[in-house]
Amino acid sequence: GQNIDQPTEMTATEGAIVQINCTYQTSGFNGLFWYQQHAGEAPTFLSYNVLDGLEEKGRFSSFLSRSKGYSYLLLKELQMKDSASYLCAVRAFSGNTPLVFGKGTRLSVIA
Amino acid sequence: GAVVSQHPSWVICKSGTSVKIECRSLDFQATTMFWYRQFPKQSLMLMATSNEGSKATYEQGVEKDKFLINHASLTLSTLTVTSAHPEDSSFYICSARDRDIPDTQYFGPGTRLTVL
Protein backbone atom coordinates (compact mmCIF):
# COMPACT_ATOMS: atom_id res chain seq x y z
CA GLY A 1 0.00 0.00 0.00
CA GLN A 2 0.86 3.65 -0.17
CA ASN A 3 1.03 5.93 2.84
CA ILE A 4 2.17 9.54 2.82
CA ASP A 5 2.10 11.61 6.00
CA GLN A 6 2.51 15.32 6.52
CA PRO A 7 1.27 17.70 9.20
CA THR A 8 -2.23 19.04 8.70
CA GLU A 9 -1.60 22.66 9.57
CA MET A 10 1.30 24.99 10.32
CA THR A 11 1.57 28.68 11.14
CA ALA A 12 4.64 30.84 10.63
CA THR A 13 5.55 34.50 10.72
CA GLU A 14 6.25 36.67 7.70
CA GLY A 15 9.98 36.78 6.99
CA ALA A 16 10.69 33.58 8.90
CA ILE A 17 11.71 30.10 7.72
CA VAL A 18 9.37 27.11 7.86
CA GLN A 19 10.03 23.42 7.26
CA ILE A 20 7.23 21.10 6.17
CA ASN A 21 7.99 17.43 6.67
CA CYS A 22 6.73 14.46 4.69
CA THR A 23 7.23 10.77 5.39
CA TYR A 24 6.25 8.08 2.97
CA GLN A 25 5.86 4.33 2.75
CA THR A 26 5.24 3.18 -0.78
CA SER A 27 5.60 -0.06 -2.69
CA GLY A 28 8.24 1.55 -4.91
CA PHE A 29 9.95 4.90 -5.34
CA ASN A 30 10.57 6.87 -8.47
CA GLY A 31 10.56 10.45 -7.27
CA LEU A 32 9.03 12.80 -4.73
CA PHE A 33 7.23 15.98 -5.68
CA TRP A 34 6.12 19.07 -3.80
CA TYR A 35 3.22 21.16 -5.03
CA GLN A 36 1.67 24.40 -3.81
CA GLN A 37 -2.09 24.78 -3.95
CA HIS A 38 -4.07 27.92 -3.20
CA ALA A 39 -7.70 27.47 -2.25
CA GLY A 40 -9.89 26.73 -5.24
CA GLU A 41 -6.97 26.42 -7.63
CA ALA A 42 -5.02 23.53 -9.11
CA PRO A 43 -1.64 22.52 -7.68
CA THR A 44 1.46 24.17 -9.07
CA PHE A 45 4.77 22.34 -9.23
CA LEU A 46 7.47 23.39 -6.77
CA SER A 47 10.15 20.73 -6.72
CA TYR A 48 11.18 17.21 -7.63
CA ASN A 49 13.67 14.95 -5.84
CA VAL A 50 14.71 11.51 -6.96
CA LEU A 51 18.19 11.32 -5.43
CA ASP A 52 19.16 11.94 -1.81
CA GLY A 53 20.07 15.48 -0.91
CA LEU A 54 18.93 19.04 -1.13
CA GLU A 55 17.50 20.77 -4.19
CA GLU A 56 17.42 24.54 -3.94
CA LYS A 57 15.27 26.81 -6.06
CA GLY A 58 15.15 30.40 -4.91
CA ARG A 59 13.32 30.72 -1.59
CA PHE A 60 12.22 27.10 -1.75
CA SER A 61 14.37 24.03 -1.07
CA SER A 62 13.45 20.37 -0.88
CA PHE A 63 15.35 17.57 0.77
CA LEU A 64 15.10 13.81 0.31
CA SER A 65 16.36 10.81 2.24
CA ARG A 66 15.29 7.64 0.48
CA SER A 67 16.62 5.34 3.20
CA LYS A 68 14.44 7.09 5.78
CA GLY A 69 11.43 7.61 3.53
CA TYR A 70 11.57 11.28 4.41
CA SER A 71 11.45 14.62 2.69
CA TYR A 72 11.02 18.21 3.70
CA LEU A 73 10.15 21.44 1.96
CA LEU A 74 11.92 24.52 3.31
CA LEU A 75 10.48 27.96 2.67
CA LYS A 76 12.66 30.95 3.46
CA GLU A 77 11.80 34.65 3.81
CA LEU A 78 8.14 33.83 4.10
CA GLN A 79 5.67 36.12 2.41
CA MET A 80 1.95 36.44 2.98
CA LYS A 81 1.30 35.00 -0.48
CA ASP A 82 2.97 31.76 0.65
CA SER A 83 -0.17 30.98 2.66
CA ALA A 84 -1.42 27.88 0.86
CA SER A 85 -1.58 24.12 1.08
CA TYR A 86 1.61 22.24 0.32
CA LEU A 87 1.22 18.77 -1.08
CA CYS A 88 3.81 16.02 -0.93
CA ALA A 89 3.42 13.42 -3.67
CA VAL A 90 5.30 10.24 -4.53
CA ARG A 91 5.56 8.39 -7.80
CA ALA A 92 6.04 4.74 -6.99
CA PHE A 93 7.14 3.48 -10.37
CA SER A 94 8.41 4.80 -13.65
CA GLY A 95 6.36 4.91 -16.79
CA ASN A 96 2.73 5.93 -16.82
CA THR A 97 2.17 5.78 -13.09
CA PRO A 98 0.29 8.56 -11.33
CA LEU A 99 1.38 10.53 -8.30
CA VAL A 100 0.06 9.56 -4.90
CA PHE A 101 -0.63 12.62 -2.79
CA GLY A 102 -0.46 13.21 0.92
CA LYS A 103 -3.31 15.09 2.55
CA GLY A 104 -1.45 18.38 2.32
CA THR A 105 -0.21 20.86 4.90
CA ARG A 106 -2.12 24.15 5.24
CA LEU A 107 0.40 26.88 5.93
CA SER A 108 -0.77 30.19 7.34
CA VAL A 109 1.69 33.06 7.22
CA ILE A 110 0.94 35.79 9.74
CA ALA A 111 2.32 39.28 10.12
CA GLY B 1 5.79 26.31 -20.55
CA ALA B 2 3.40 23.42 -20.84
CA VAL B 3 -0.25 24.35 -20.45
CA VAL B 4 -3.20 22.16 -19.60
CA SER B 5 -6.68 23.60 -19.87
CA GLN B 6 -9.98 22.38 -18.48
CA HIS B 7 -13.46 23.28 -19.57
CA PRO B 8 -15.70 24.29 -17.99
CA SER B 9 -14.01 25.89 -15.00
CA TRP B 10 -17.19 25.55 -13.03
CA VAL B 11 -20.61 24.00 -13.60
CA ILE B 12 -23.85 23.75 -11.69
CA CYS B 13 -26.29 21.04 -12.69
CA LYS B 14 -29.43 19.35 -11.48
CA SER B 15 -29.37 15.94 -9.88
CA GLY B 16 -29.72 13.17 -12.46
CA THR B 17 -28.10 15.01 -15.34
CA SER B 18 -24.74 14.25 -16.93
CA VAL B 19 -21.80 16.61 -17.09
CA LYS B 20 -18.80 16.43 -19.39
CA ILE B 21 -15.44 17.92 -18.42
CA GLU B 22 -12.69 18.38 -20.99
CA CYS B 23 -8.97 18.32 -20.33
CA ARG B 24 -6.64 19.54 -23.08
CA SER B 25 -2.87 19.73 -23.37
CA LEU B 26 -2.35 22.91 -25.37
CA ASP B 27 1.26 22.78 -26.45
CA PHE B 28 2.35 19.19 -26.00
CA GLN B 29 1.10 15.71 -26.70
CA ALA B 30 -0.08 13.62 -23.79
CA THR B 31 -0.41 9.86 -24.13
CA THR B 32 -1.44 9.71 -20.49
CA MET B 33 -3.74 11.93 -18.48
CA PHE B 34 -4.87 11.50 -14.91
CA TRP B 35 -8.16 12.50 -13.34
CA TYR B 36 -8.26 13.51 -9.69
CA ARG B 37 -11.05 14.55 -7.37
CA GLN B 38 -10.60 16.83 -4.39
CA PHE B 39 -13.15 17.42 -1.65
CA PRO B 40 -12.90 20.56 0.50
CA LYS B 41 -9.82 20.66 2.70
CA GLN B 42 -8.73 17.23 1.50
CA SER B 43 -5.98 16.09 -0.80
CA LEU B 44 -6.20 14.99 -4.38
CA MET B 45 -7.56 11.49 -4.84
CA LEU B 46 -6.74 9.73 -8.07
CA MET B 47 -9.84 8.51 -9.88
CA ALA B 48 -8.44 7.06 -13.07
CA THR B 49 -5.61 6.96 -15.54
CA SER B 50 -6.55 7.79 -19.09
CA ASN B 51 -4.44 6.39 -21.91
CA GLU B 52 -4.81 7.59 -25.47
CA GLY B 53 -6.49 5.02 -27.64
CA SER B 54 -7.24 2.53 -24.91
CA LYS B 55 -9.54 2.04 -21.95
CA ALA B 56 -9.01 4.01 -18.79
CA THR B 57 -7.73 2.35 -15.65
CA TYR B 58 -9.91 3.14 -12.64
CA GLU B 59 -8.85 3.22 -9.02
CA GLN B 60 -10.53 0.95 -6.54
CA GLY B 61 -13.90 2.29 -5.48
CA VAL B 62 -14.41 4.48 -8.54
CA GLU B 63 -17.37 3.39 -10.67
CA LYS B 64 -16.34 3.23 -14.31
CA ASP B 65 -19.95 3.33 -15.49
CA LYS B 66 -20.56 6.52 -13.57
CA PHE B 67 -17.35 8.31 -14.47
CA LEU B 68 -16.86 7.76 -18.17
CA ILE B 69 -13.43 8.63 -19.51
CA ASN B 70 -12.53 9.02 -23.15
CA HIS B 71 -9.03 9.83 -24.41
CA ALA B 72 -9.62 10.05 -28.12
CA SER B 73 -6.57 12.07 -29.12
CA LEU B 74 -3.11 12.97 -27.86
CA THR B 75 -4.36 16.33 -26.60
CA LEU B 76 -7.84 15.65 -25.23
CA SER B 77 -9.36 13.55 -22.48
CA THR B 78 -12.93 13.88 -21.28
CA LEU B 79 -14.57 12.88 -18.02
CA THR B 80 -18.35 12.50 -18.03
CA VAL B 81 -20.11 12.32 -14.71
CA THR B 82 -23.31 10.44 -15.49
CA SER B 83 -26.52 10.79 -13.48
CA ALA B 84 -24.84 13.22 -11.15
CA HIS B 85 -25.88 13.41 -7.49
CA PRO B 86 -25.09 16.00 -4.82
CA GLU B 87 -22.36 13.77 -3.39
CA ASP B 88 -20.53 14.08 -6.71
CA SER B 89 -20.05 17.78 -6.06
CA SER B 90 -16.30 18.26 -5.95
CA PHE B 91 -13.27 19.84 -7.55
CA TYR B 92 -12.14 17.73 -10.50
CA ILE B 93 -8.55 18.19 -11.68
CA CYS B 94 -6.78 16.59 -14.58
CA SER B 95 -3.08 16.29 -15.18
CA ALA B 96 -1.17 15.35 -18.29
CA ARG B 97 2.19 13.80 -18.96
CA ASP B 98 4.23 15.14 -21.84
CA ARG B 99 4.85 12.25 -24.22
CA ASP B 100 8.36 13.53 -24.93
CA ILE B 101 9.32 14.35 -21.32
CA PRO B 102 8.12 11.38 -19.29
CA ASP B 103 8.91 12.71 -15.80
CA THR B 104 6.51 15.60 -16.14
CA GLN B 105 2.99 15.98 -14.88
CA TYR B 106 1.18 19.25 -15.54
CA PHE B 107 -2.10 20.08 -13.85
CA GLY B 108 -5.11 21.74 -15.33
CA PRO B 109 -6.85 24.57 -13.48
CA GLY B 110 -9.64 22.30 -12.23
CA THR B 111 -13.41 22.19 -12.65
CA ARG B 112 -15.74 22.95 -9.76
CA LEU B 113 -18.87 20.78 -10.05
CA THR B 114 -21.92 21.55 -7.96
CA VAL B 115 -24.88 19.21 -8.20
CA LEU B 116 -28.15 20.56 -6.82
**DSSP secondary structure of A28-82:** --S-EEEEEE-TTS--EEEEEE-SSEEEEETTEEEEEETTTTEEEEEE-S--GGG
Sign of CA dihedral A10, A32, A98, B23: positive
Contact B102 A95 (CB under 8 A): yes
CA distance B19 to B22: 10
Contacts by residues A27-31 (CB-CB < 8 Å, ≥ 24 positions apart): A27/A1, A27/A2, A27/A92, A28/A92, A28/A93, A29/A66, A29/A90, A29/A91, A29/A92, A30/A91, A30/A92, A30/A93, A30/A94, A30/A97, A31/A90, A31/A91, A31/B103
Contacts of A33 in chain B (CB under 8 A): 105
- B48-52, B59-63, B101-105: which range is least confident on average? B101-105
**Residues B33 and B105: beta-carbon distance below 8 Å:** no
- A21-30, A93-102, B43-52: which range is least confident on average? A93-102
CB pairs under 8 A between A and B: 51
Question: What is the mean predicted confidence (pLDDT) over A31-52?
Answer: 91
B15 contact A CB<8A: no
What is the SS3 assignment for B4? strand
Contact B46 A98 (CB under 8 A): yes
Of residues A17 and A99, more confidently modeled: A17
Contact A96 B51 (CB under 8 A): yes
Of A44, A95, A101, the CB nearest to B44: A101
Q: What's the pLDDT band for A95 if we cut at 50, 70, 90?
A: low
Q: What's the pLDDT band for B102 if we cut at 50, 70, 90?
A: low
DSSP-derived letter for residue B83 is S
Of A43, A48, A102, the CB nearest to B107: A43
The interface residues of chain A toward chain B in range 15-74, judged by CB-CB distance below 8 A, are 31, 33, 35, 40-45, 48
Backbone angles phi, psi at A89, to 5 degrees: -140, 145
Contact A103 B42 (CB under 8 A): yes
Looking at residue A35, its pLDDT comes to 93
Looking at residue B1, its pLDDT comes to 63
**Residues A79 and B85: beta-carbon distance below 8 Å:** no
Q: What's the pLDDT band for A41 if we cut at 50, 70, 90?
A: confident
- A69-73, A74-78, A82-86, B58-62: which range is least confident on average? B58-62
Greatest pairwise CA separation for chain B in angstroms? 41
Looking at residue A85, its pLDDT comes to 95
DSSP-derived letter for residue B1 is -
